Structure 1
Amino acid sequence: MEAFEMDTLISVDEALRRLLDATHPLAPEERLLEDALGLVTVESVRARTDSPPFARAMLDGFAVRAEDVAGATRDAPRTLRVLGTVGAGSGATRAIGQGEAVRTMTGAPMSPGADALLRIEYAQEFIEQGERVVHAYRSVPVDEAVQQRGDDLRAGEVALAAGTLLLPAQIGILASHGYRSIAVVRPPRVAVVATGSELLEAGEAPHPHALYNSNGPMLCALIRRVGGIAQVIPAVGDDLSLQQRVFSDALKDVDVLVTTGGVSVGDFDLTPSALEAIGVERLFWGVFMRPGTPVYAGMRGKQVILAFSGSPSAALVNAVVLGLPVLRRLAGQKDPAPALFARVTGATLRRRVKHSRFFRGQLTQRDAEWWIDLGTEQSSGSFSGFASVTALARVDADADVTDGALVPIFLLP
């Protein structure tokens, strides 16, 4: 079937360009903060109040006027009259005059008239002639240990820009301004289908020449790890009409269909034929990458279809290098394919090829730089070699694999 021959191979960068040009962020939805972790803001979020909403103490101590403790030492302390105590959540109602102080706890509002906080370590409180007094043993500058009103954000200022990935700190910022929910790009819904008549599902009895379906659970786990909603569909055999039906059903309520297997040029590699028979328009078929050269991508309307190799090692590389940027784009992330680099260690001489090669390795940090150790098993047939690695190193056709070389890396989530 000539129409379904693999295309002339394209580079990894060209494959990524075609995918990212064809995809766009999904529709927004409102989410409670507790359900928004890992999602992306649709629009800029503004501070509702000044932050902090009042001048507050950053430490436990005494609110004072800096001029009243100028020159204070342990041998020559300054004595101030203590008007009272203010804790967090209390109001500072009494203004401080000359020679006066208010014992003030961390987070409590500063009393009117005070312009500095004397740490509790540099003071000692007494009762003298029935009155509370404090001896100050150190001078403090104006604004010492005081955060002024609006020092962090002023009401109306942008607290989080549109396109911000909501991690725990960002959730905290929203909560600090009283937000209960937020408009975010909804997470992509993904269906995963492994193909191959040799595949068994977990729980089925093993038999000669059969393999358990590992790609489906693996890719679903990867998708969920980066915030997608994944649905695994039982493996489908090497039957063209059956694959068409399964793929068509899988596309009814998802943004992305991921398949594995049947994407090379063998007699039973039917996936591209089945996909294009149900209206998928090809973006590419075949990329200069190892492992994972036979990889297919297409679109059906706004739906993305990614058909990865059936080899577990190759499928994982396809997914990390080409699939995750698509999911990040759909989820609204500003940088779907971030540029990360590490220096190589444990390299061995390898013959040059036309492909971009992806070597598995363990990341470590040395002298403020990331290093990736490539001295592990690299055979694409050894899937267990992924058990102890944390990243993939990309080595292009014109690059040398030598210790100390700086190479692009892809993190394994």
Structure 2
Amino acid sequence: MDVLISIEEASRRLQEAATVCQVEQVALDRALGRVVAVDVQALLDVPHFDRAMLDGFAVKAADIVAATKDQPVELRVLETVGAGHVPHVHVEAGTAVRTMTGAPIVTGADAIVRIEYAEELTRDNERIVRIYRAVDEHEAIQERGHDILAGHTLLTSGTVLQPMEIAVLAAHGYHTVTVTRQPRVAIVATGSEVVPLGQALQLGQLYNSNTPMLTALVTQAGAQAISFSPASDHKEELTERFMEALKTCDILVTTGGVSVGDYDLTPSILEAIGVKRLFWGVWMRPGTPVYAGTFDGRLVLALSGNPAAAFINAIVFLVPLLRVLSGQKNEQVDVKARLKNPPQKRRVKHTRFFAGQLIFIENELWIDVSGEHSSGVMTNFIGKMALAQIGGEDELREGELVSVILL
């Protein structure tokens, strides 16, 4: 390994080497989780007509200023207008139009009286409404362009498309949207002890848990995972698997074989096939012997083989990298919490990470990091919402204010 560098320096080197993926058009019904590649302009005033915000009667507010429950004001009802229908009359003094939610406001009306404050009846074959309450002008009317005006920026580049963003696009008539192509991540687990799922275990062997975990994490981050079968600790097999994977991806992620033992071959083989090193070794626990490099415009990230360490390596380096490649806005949320039930460990230079559960105690956010914290222990992560990030200078003591990474 190299001389260890800080997490911040490792992240800087990775992100400087990253390039945003190309753009493509996708149908709106397939755009969930995708990242807007160029600013999107509003095509319409929304709403594009003055509309009623509730069921009631369109009136002139001046006609009913004296209306009370004991002394209602009576108006002649000209017609009923529902959503999607066009009014055919004009409201003048002494008249009203029964108007349903979402319907256009009839010309001449300047307010809507809620239907609960009115009573319609028929007298001499004429529709009459009794109004029991005065309202202000513009009451319950959403005016044209109240939400947004045509030509204004609707969504900015870097926006992740969630259900409401998709609804907004649809409201303007967009049926496709320009997005950044999903980053492709090739995943290769290494180690002669690692066997595929479904195969019987022999003494000394382990099931391949890292590939499914990373596949899920990559998919959750909005990228495309490409899984390869595990490779044993043999130079020829590793070389072939890495070369095959590099043909398919924007990022190659490997697990295992990245430390300094006799069978830790990943860094040397990667560099033998042309990978240029960015770093090898970071002041972090778990996951110190993490390796990164570049290859013909692609990025390579070699993570620890221990499941918990691989997960934390991926949360700290891979997930932010995927945000860069997908063109997401860099909107870091700085979350702090007080440490609860910290493990009894001596101070080290490394930044340490502990899985924890966020709780509130007397209106203050705490992170409970109870449990065993080891690079080979996965079960302590089950149901946990966050990672406590403890800097090398921070104390592992109850109540210490620490940074939190939300999972």
* Residue of structure 1 equivalent to 2:248: 253
- Offset from partner CA, 1:61-101 (integer Å, 9 cap, x none): 11111101102110011111101111110112211000111
- Offset from partner CA, 1:38-65 (integer Å, 9 cap, x none): 1111111111111001000001111111
Match of 1:359 among 340, 354, 359: 354
Q: Give the AA of the match of 1:402.
A: R
Match of 1:129 among 110, 124, 127: 124
Matches within 5 A, 1:109-258: 109-258=104-253
Partner of 1:305, secondary structure, is: strand
Match of 1:322 among 307, 317, 323: 317
* Residue of structure 1 equivalent to 2:39: 44
The Cα of 1:375 is off from its aligned counterpart by 1.8
Residues of 2 paired with 1:248 and 1:199: CA distance?
Answer: 20
Structure 2 gaps of 5+ residues are none
Q: Give the AA of the match of 1:91.
A: V
Q: Give the AA of the match of 2:36.
A: T
**What TM-score, normalized to structure 2?**
0.97
Residues of 2 paired with 1:403 and 1:334: CA distance?
Answer: 35
The Cα of 1:369 is off from its aligned counterpart by 5.1
Residues of 1 paired with 2:153 and 2:361: CA distance?
Answer: 37
Q: Give the AA of the match of 1:176.
A: A
Contact 1:325 1:336 in 2 (8 A): no
Residues of 2 paired with 1:217 and 1:68: CA distance?
Answer: 69
* Residue of structure 2 equivalent to 1:85: 80
Q: How many residues align?
A: 407
Q: Give the AA of the match of 2:8.
A: D
- State yes or no: 1:69 paired with 2:87: no
* Residue of structure 2 equivalent to 1:375: 370
Match of 1:296 among 291, 294, 304: 291
Residues of 1 paired with 2:329 and 2:364: CA distance?
Answer: 25
Q: Which moved more, 1:175-184 or 1:340-349?
A: 340-349
Q: Give the AA of the match of 2:385.
A: T
Identity %: 51
Q: Give the AA of the match of 2:218.
A: I
Partner of 1:224, secondary structure, is: helix
Match of 1:56 among 41, 47, 51: 51
- Offset from partner CA, 1:218-260 (integer Å, 9 cap, x none): 1111111111111111110111222111101111121010000
Change (3 A) 1:366 1:98: farther
Contact 1:96 1:114 in 2 (8 A): yes
Matches within 5 A, 1:92-107: 92-107=87-102
Q: Give the AA of the match of 2:63.
A: D
Change (3 A) 1:286 1:45: same
Q: Give the AA of the match of 1:322.
A: F
Change (3 A) 1:213 1:365: same
The Cα of 1:383 is off from its aligned counterpart by 1.4
Structure 1 gaps of 5+ residues are 1-5
Residues of 2 paired with 1:346 and 1:116: CA distance?
Answer: 60
Contact 1:325 1:337 in 2 (8 A): no
Q: Give the AA of the match of 1:278.
A: I
Residues of 2 paired with 1:23 and 1:366: CA distance?
Answer: 41
Contact 2:309 2:376 in 1 (8 A): no
* Residue of structure 1 equivalent to 2:21: 26
Contact 1:241 1:274 in 2 (8 A): no
Contact 2:308 2:375 in 1 (8 A): yes
Residues of 2 paired with 1:358 and 1:302: CA distance?
Answer: 31
Residues of 2 paired with 1:367 and 1:181: CA distance?
Answer: 48
Contact 1:52 1:148 in 2 (8 A): yes
Residues of 1 paired with 2:220 and 2:249: CA distance?
Answer: 18
Residues of 2 paired with 1:244 and 1:283: CA distance?
Answer: 20
Residues of 2 paired with 1:402 and 1:103: CA distance?
Answer: 67
The Cα of 1:379 is off from its aligned counterpart by 2.5
Q: Which moved more, 1:231-240 or 1:307-316?
A: 231-240
Contact 2:307 2:377 in 1 (8 A): no
* Residue of structure 1 equivalent to 2:280: 285
The Cα of 1:145 is off from its aligned counterpart by 0.7
Partner of 2:246, secondary structure, is: helix
